[in-house]
Amino acid sequence: MNWFLTLLFFISVGCSHYRTDHYEEFAQAAQLMYEKKDYAEALVLLEQIENQDLLSSPLVLMQCDSLEQTNSLTKAKDCYLKGKKLYPHKNIFELKLLSFYIEENQLEQAQELMNQLETRIAHDQEFLRLKAAYALKTNNWEQASFHFQKSITVQKNDQDLLALGKAQFLSGKTQEARESFEQISSDEIKAEAARYLAWIYVDAKDQRLANAQIRILLKHQPQDALTKKLFLRNLTLSEHADRVTLIKEYNRQFEDDWGQYHYWKALKEINSHQEANDYLAQLWNKNKSEAWVASHYANELAAQNNIAAAETILKETLQVAHKNHKESINYQLSEISSRQELMRNLASMKTHKVERGETLESISEKFYGTKNRWGDILKHNLDHVKHPNRLKIGTDLTIPGSKE
């Protein structure tokens, strides 16, 4: 540990000179900083070693990567070029330079370097991967698939299987992509493949397998827009009972209006009406400002002829709802109040058989105590009355809201 404290002392006082026999200490300290991802500090140490022309190929590689990690891209490229010249027998610098070119879309330089490497390391696995990465950059999915397949024949690994599956998926070879993704064993990489497998299974209408992949996405990428899109697509394909299970899973992750609404809807679809109503009541008691909850809850109560309770729900929500929702709540409240009036009228309706000499006015006076409500009677009997003053004897008339 003493050597490290000494080193820190030298750095702290800004010392730029050291004895050559301290090279190993500086190299080890640079390695430590690099491993801790303190790339800027690693560069400080490596630059001091470089001043004495004592950098070995691993340290040059570390220096180049540290420059790239600190977004000193021009310096990083120059560093890889320097390493290529200093150590022409080490392919790693050319491969790193090729990776740099591809990543930065310097595709002409990448193509030129690939042509140089082809005669020497055509079957090197890293070179095959980089050729595949170049093909992906140029949207040549077929060529990318070819190079990834060759890489897998050198040594099979999950990362290449994932990349191969993506290339096959993009080229429309969904069956081949499915086979590639299904060979992946690593849980972490399986989560990356899940979005593609979910699409494949959904399109194949294989809800069971799609559900399994969507659950992986819900666990690892719950807020991803594609996760919700896949969930919705599979939901429309699922049986009603499966929808309830799926939406429960969705709600555990998202707890948003969409999930709550569709869970309530799914409960109704499988005829769990009481559970559906209880769920609305639970949501409303939890947050009375949710207009959509209050609206559906009030409608359910009104459908059960519990008009007073429905009005109470809407009136309480009206007090706390967002101003954008108040107009619709007021409208629904008036509709439910009208329904209550209609129900009262329906409950008190009577029938009357027309007798000789009767008119709508005389019948109105008989039932309401006034001739003025003849229009109400006419409105409920348009199918039977052709003219208000010419009633057919024996016609059965409906008398709304009778007070007799």
* CATH class (in words) of the domain with range 272-347: mainly alpha
3.10.350.10, 3.50.50.60, 3.40.30.10, 3.40.50.12280: CATH of 349-404:
3.10.350.10
Same fold, 272-347 and 349-404: no
Please name which of 329, 332, 349 lies closest in space to residue 402, comparing C-alpha atoms: 349
Tokens 């999930």, residue located: 259
The tokens describing 21, both together, are 């026999």
Segment among 122-136, 140-154, 249-263 with least mean pLDDT: 249-263
Spell out the long-range contacts of 132-139 with Cβ–Cβ below 8 A and sequence spacing 24 or more. Answer: 132/163, 132/167, 133/99, 133/102, 134/102, 134/107, 134/110, 135/167, 136/163, 136/167, 137/102, 137/105, 137/107, 138/107
pLDDT interval class at 20 (50, 70, 90): very low
* Percentage, residues of the chain above pLDDT 70: 80
Q: Residue ranges per domain, the chain? A: 272-347, 349-404
Q: What residues have CB less than 8 Å from 21, skipping those under 6 apart? A: none
> How far apart are the C-alpha atoms of 331 and 304, rounded to whole Å?
20
pLDDT interval class at 182 (50, 70, 90): very high
The tokens describing 255, both together, are 């707890």
* Torsions phi, psi for 318 (to 5 deg): -60, -30
Does residue 82 contact residue 95 with C-beta atoms inside 8 Å? no
The tokens describing 116, both together, are 């140089």
> How far apart are the C-alpha atoms of 287 and 260, rounded to whole Å?
13
Does residue 177 contact residue 168 with C-beta atoms inside 8 Å? yes
DSSP 1-27: -HHHHHHHHHHHTT-----GGGHHHHH
How high is the pLDDT of residue 218?
A: 74
Residue 13 has pLDDT above 60, yes or no: no
Q: What integer is the mean pLDDT of 366-395? A: 82
Q: What residues have CB less than 8 Å from 320, skipping those under 6 apart? A: 288, 289
> How far apart are the C-alpha atoms of 389 and 374, rounded to whole Å?
10
Tokens 């004895």, residue located: 19
pTM: 0.51
Neighbours of 215 (CB within 10 A): 17
pLDDT tens track for 103-130:
888 899 899 999 999 888 888 999 999 9
- 387 DSSP 8-state letter: S
Run of H or E residues at 163: helix 158-170
